[in-house]
Amino acid sequence: MRFIALLILIIPGLLGVYGIKLLRDSFFLKTSTPFTWIDSLAAASMLQGTFGLLLAIGGIGFVAGYIFNRDKKSGKVQRFDS
């Protein structure tokens, strides 16, 4: 059961890492494998950067949400009263 839970966390984490790699490559104007079919370097870089941003936010957000929910269930999260 723990192995399945570990896989559920590792897959979005790897997608987030791949998104960061796509963002880095688009910043340095290098097109990666799925975006090489686009002729314009600027268009390919923009599409690759957008896709990388979505993957990075999604992967990191999933892992962060899991950790926050786990800590909330165990009572480690404090309430913020203003």
Give the per-residue pLDDT at 1: 83
- Average pLDDT (2-17) is 91
Amino acid (1-letter code) at residue 47: L
Q: Does the structure show a pLDDT above 90 at 60?
A: yes
Q: Check the CA dihedral 6-58-63-32 and report its sign.
A: positive
Q: What is the pTM of this model?
A: 0.83
Q: Flag whether pLDDT at 81 surpasses 80.
A: no
First to last CA, the chain: 40
Q: What is the reported pLDDT for 33?
A: 81
pLDDT in tens, 26-40: 999 888 888 888 888
**Residue 1 CB: number of other CB atoms within 10 A?**
5
- Mean per-residue pLDDT, 66-81: 87
